[in-house]
Amino acid sequence: MIPWQTIAVDKFSNFIGNFLPLSEISVIGSCLEPNSIDIFSDVDLKILLSDNSAINFNKLIKAISQQFDGVFGYEVHNNCNNDVLRFCLNNGWRFDLTFVYSMPKVSVEAEILLSAKIDSIVNQFWFIASMVLVKLGRNDFLTAAHLALELCQLNIVVQMLIRDDEKKSNIHRFGDSEHVPVLHPLTSSKRCGEFLENEKDKILGILFHAAEHMDKISLQTIKNYTIRSEHLKTLNHLLLHNTGG
């Protein structure tokens, strides 16, 4: 059977070549060794751009989502001469793209609105959520647990941003004894895993609780937000149950 990564490389290379001005696309990472890849491997591509205009990642993600039936989550890392985009599609395919500019990129500085900050964190949340499943599939429970707890932190970051907006300040000498729902599975012995059989189930419990809470808070803050915790369960079944993970 042809691995999904081989199909994904061809499809995405054709797409990105028509979307951005580029001079070369090369495969890097594990895809260079086909015998070593599995269902959990991502597609690593290095994309050499032919100009130095900063990429509009909001526009790119929208186009990718339309072309490939939905982006589940993503994160962007901006550097001086390159940008890195990591994303997971709704079908579980994951990509790690490094965009290399022909010279230091030209970007336009703009004020980042609260809605954009929250949207960025939320999309990063769902990408990391997909990575928790990957780490569980490879029995790396330490990294999976670390990432699951990071998801709890991202929930709290969104709450902090909302508080800053309400108070019109990011300086708070005193708080308001705020309710922090995402802490509940960590402080309840039953939900924390006392009655669960193994480490994987404990981590999944934290993952899905954090996901449900992120959906709840996102519905309140992001216009036209689409709930994703149920689809995370679909990815869990696709990546873990079908591979014996």
pLDDT tens figures, 26-42: 999 888 887 788 899 99
Is the residue at 105 inside a domain? Answer: no
CB 155 within 8 A of CB 182: yes
CB 23 within 8 A of CB 17: no
Per-residue pLDDT band for 102 (boundaries 50, 70, 90) equals confident
For 11-24, write each residue's pLDDT tens digit. 999 999 999 988 89
For 31-90, write each residue's pLDDT tens digit. 888 778 889 999 999 999 988 888 999 999 999 999 998 999 999 999 888 999 999 999
Distances, alpha carbon 62 to alpha carbons 56, 57, 66, 206, 223, in Å: 10, 8, 6, 30, 15
Token pair belonging to 159 = 């709450």
Is the residue at 108 inside a domain? Answer: no
Is the residue at 139 inside a domain? Answer: yes
Kindly state the percentage of the chain with pLDDT values over 70: 88
Tally of domains within the chain:
2
Q: Are residues 182 and 223 in the same domain?
A: yes
Token pair belonging to 15 = 């797409």
| Residue type at position 158 | V
Q: Are residues 141 and 68 in the same domain?
A: no
Is the residue at 39 inside a domain? Answer: yes
Question: Which pLDDT belongs to residue 206?
Answer: 93
Q: Which domain holds residue 51?
A: 4-100
Alpha-carbon span 152 to 65, nearest angstrom: 26
Q: Are residues 65 and 153 in the same domain?
A: no
Question: Which pLDDT belongs to residue 193?
Answer: 46
Token pair belonging to 43 = 């597609």
Is the residue at 106 inside a domain? Answer: no
Per DSSP, the three-state class of 157 is: helix
| Residue type at position 146 | H
Pairing of β 71-78 and β 82-89: antiparallel
